[in-house]
Amino acid sequence: MKSSIAKHRLLISWCAFSIFCGLNVLIYQRPIADIIGLAIQDAERSYVLLVPVLAIYLIWLRRSRLRNIEFRVSIWGPIIILLGWVGFLIGGVNDVVFLWHLGFLVGFLGIAVTFLGSGILTPFSPAILVILSIVPIPGSIRLALAQPLQSFATSVTATILDAVGVPAIQAGNLIEINGVTVAIGEACNGMRLLVPLALVIFTFVFSLPLRTSMRSLLLAASIPIALICNVLRLVPTALAYGYFPSIAEPTHDIGGWIMIPLALFFLIGLLRLVEWLDIPVTRWRLATA
């Protein structure tokens, strides 16, 4: 009898959750449409289209944890919904686009907590963090990240080209190769793929039953790995712009997307190295002879 009541209560909770999610979409349809439009029109924000796939993947991996969650209505849900609505209003009035966009996600989170309980948050926190990345990064932050990346990209490219005997003259974020001025800093600063690369690495790390210390190591290593991957595409891209302009754009684009599997290759290599050193990697170790 108790089991039947619990099932009916769970069914009602999921139905209410679905209905209110639909209402949330109607209420926040403008910021949602704006985010989708930016993702389609702006190449630097196209990573937003990747977010639902990665989030669903992480949720699917953790689906068995639903059996251990006690679903109950939580008063914290309406408070979270209210915070999202206030942020949405403040963002709209003061032209703070980030808050205006963030409101609908906070609303979804509040609805989940209201009807499914706060216990849903911890086991699915990696997927929630990925979903939050749907909100486009503010322009000021993108610019602050892009500027040092441009300087780094230009300096590294000029140094490597000089080392291999290719004449290259650096002037700020520009490099002159074979009489052609290449804006290598702007073209290859890595910003366009920085966020999708971070999302893929994050998903990879949290898709494995790793120890917390190992996850922290891989996440910390993702920064130098991303820089190394970007360096590995800089030289051929710069050479293509200088000597083979007809294939420069394809070289730039293909090299950029190769960064993601290349970064995963380095992460797996680091993981194998730690295992070879006989350092515990996963949460459980099999007994060996």
Return the domain boundaries, the chain.
Answer: 2-136, 140-276
Task: Read off the pLDDT band of 268 (50, 70, 90).
Answer: confident
Between CA 181 and CA 189 the distance in angstroms is 16
In this structure, what token pair is assigned to residue 229?
A: 């991957």
pTM of the model: 0.77
More confident residue, 51 or 70: 51
Q: Do 51 and 131 contact (CB within 8 A), yes or no?
A: yes
Between CA 204 and CA 117 the distance in angstroms is 27
Mean pLDDT of 216-231: 82
Mean pLDDT of 17-26: 86
Task: Read off the pLDDT band of 83 (50, 70, 90).
Answer: very high
Task: Read off the pLDDT band of 86 (50, 70, 90).
Answer: very high
* E strand or H helix that includes residue 283: none
Res. 2: pLDDT tops 60: no
The residue type at 82: L
Residues 6+ apart with CB under 8 A from 122: none
Measured CA distances, 14 to 19, 116, 123, 233 (Å): 9, 7, 18, 48
More confident residue, 109 or 225: 109
Res. 24: pLDDT tops 50: yes
